[in-house]
């Protein structure tokens, strides 16, 4: 396998997963710059320059949630996901999608309009609206974690990787929601994992 990776991008999820599973892979680091993506050889395979890009035999995947599921199905060997017959399998799938659609989408908009876009292109109202949406769904995670160590019971899973990446990004950019004790403790537990430390610092 070969992973094209850029720090703080969604490829962090895939790198974290590969490390948790102890899989062999090659990684190519790319700068956070769309112009550089166009020069990378992965563009010969995938034309719009999105990351992650995981190459594995005939597979070329660039949607991070799909790549996570692909790796779990092909190489997980029952790790980091409940059995498909388990009662927790449905909630596991829900959290995988939640991390991208409910958490990542508003965080992306918030960061665009508060940090990433040039100052003249930022919209303060859009940033504040995105902050409220992000914090709303962050509170939902905080509530779901009441009395639990991880999102799917007591066992760490790939759902925690997907959600944990978003929380790490929020922490790194200084927009982690305040006053959510369960969420803060959960994030600290994730940060203690060596695979998380490697992925979020690479």
Residue with more model confidence, 45 or 119: 119
Distance of CA 140 to the CA centre of its chain: 17
Question: Mean pLDDT across the stretch 4-18?
Answer: 93
Residue with more model confidence, 55 or 33: 55
Q: ∠196-198-202 over CA atoms, to 5°? A: 120
Same domain flag for 124 and 53: no
Residue 82 lies in a domain: no
Sign of CA dihedral 97, 100, 101, 102: positive
Question: Mean pLDDT across the stretch 118-129?
Answer: 96
Residue 80 lies in a domain: no
Question: Mean pLDDT across the stretch 118-126?
Answer: 95
Residues 6+ apart with CB under 8 A from 21: 71, 75, 76, 79, 80
Nearest partner of 64 among 167, 198, 163, 193, judged by Cα: 163
- As a whole-number percent, the residues of the chain with pLDDT over 70 amount to 91
- CATH number of the domain to which 143 belongs: 1.20.1050.10
Residue-level pLDDT at 31: 72
Distance CA 122, CA 115 (A): 8
Same domain flag for 102 and 165: yes
Least confident interval from 13-22, 27-36, 54-63, 138-147: 27-36
Same domain flag for 66 and 106: no
Q: Write out the residue range of the structural domain in which residue 34 sits.
A: 2-75
- CATH number of the domain to which 25 belongs: 3.40.30.10
Mean pLDDT, the chain, as a whole number? 91
Distance CA 192, CA 174 (A): 19
In the DSSP assignment, the letter for residue 40 is S
What CA–CA distances, in Å, run from 27 to 35, 64, 137? 19, 15, 32
Number of domains observed in the structure of the chain: 2
Question: Mean pLDDT across the stretch 154-178?
Answer: 97
Residues 6+ apart with CB under 8 A from 26: 1, 2, 3
Distance CA 62, CA 50 (A): 6
Phi first, then psi, for residue 5 (nearest 5°) are: -130, 145
Model confidence band, residue 48 (pLDDT cutoffs 50, 70, 90): very low
Residue-level pLDDT at 32: 63
Same domain flag for 114 and 189: yes
Question: Mean pLDDT across the stretch 58-67?
Answer: 92
Residue-level pLDDT at 33: 58
Question: Mean pLDDT across the stretch 21-48?
Answer: 63
| Predicted structure pTM score | 0.91
């Amino acid at each position: 396998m070969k992973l094209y990776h850029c720090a703080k991008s969604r490829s962090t999820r895939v790198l974290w997963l590969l490390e948790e599973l102890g899989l062999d892979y090659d990684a190519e680091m790319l700068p956070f710059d769309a112009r550089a993506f166009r020069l990378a050889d992965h563009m010969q395979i995938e034309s719009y320059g999105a990351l992650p890009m995981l190459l594995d035999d005939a597979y070329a995947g660039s949607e991070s949630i799909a790549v996570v599921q692909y790796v779990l199905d092909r190489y997980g060997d029952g790790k980091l996901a409940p059995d498909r017959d388990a009662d927790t399998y449905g909630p596991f799938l829900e959290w995988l999608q939640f991390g991208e659609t409910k958490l990542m989408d508003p965080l992306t908009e918030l960061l665009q309009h508060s940090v990433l876009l040039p100052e003249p292109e930022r919209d303060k109202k859009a940033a504040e609206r995105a902050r409220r949406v992000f914090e709303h769904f962050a509170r939902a995670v905080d509530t779901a974690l009441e009395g639990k160590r991880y999102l799917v019971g007591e066992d760490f899973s790939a759902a925690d990787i997907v959600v944990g990446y978003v929380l790490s990004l929020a922490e790194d950019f200084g927009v982690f929601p305040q006053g959510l004790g369960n969420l803060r403790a959960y994030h600290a537990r994730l940060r203690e994992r060596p695979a998380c430390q490697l992925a979020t610092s690479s």
